[in-house]
């Protein structure tokens, strides 16, 4: 993705405990919380899903990751952001499955 397009997806950058947090939002309503501070594991990324009203939840059941990803180099960060942007939008079936602790991504069936 071009730097210009990524900048459009970057919603805001905020100071956090001796560092900074960047929040990204893509057209599929997924995004990322990227933190770099004195207590993070280097550049640290969590996949998030945006809701109405500008709030988000951390998401741990995508093909991208089932956890927070730490110690990301700049090129790795770009790759993970591209993967998040490529996720299919969540539908009510995915949300209900998440509430039950299940996942519905095709890659999870392997």
Residue pLDDT, tens place only, 7-64: 558 888 888 989 999 999 999 999 999 999 999 999 999 999 998 888 999 999 899 9
3-state secondary structure 36-69: ECCCCCCCEEEEEEECHHHCEEECCCCCCCCCCE
The structure's pTM equals 0.77
Residue-number span of the structural domain to which 53 is assigned = 3-109
The number of distinct structural domains making up the chain is: 1
């Amino acid at each position: 993705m071009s730097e210009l397009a990524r900048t459009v997806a970057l919603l805001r950058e905020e100071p956090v405990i001796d560092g900074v947090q960047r929040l990204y939002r893509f057209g599929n309503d997924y995004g990322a919380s990227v933190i770099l501070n004195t207590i993070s594991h280097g550049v640290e990324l969590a996949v998030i899903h945006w809701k109405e009203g500008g709030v988000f939840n951390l998401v741990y059941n995508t093909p991208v990751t089932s956890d927070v990803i730490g110690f990301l180099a700049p090129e790795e960060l770009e790759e993970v952001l591209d993967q998040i942007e490529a996720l299919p939008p969540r539908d009510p079936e995915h949300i209900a499955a998440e509430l039950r602790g299940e996942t519905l991504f095709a890659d999870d069936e392997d």
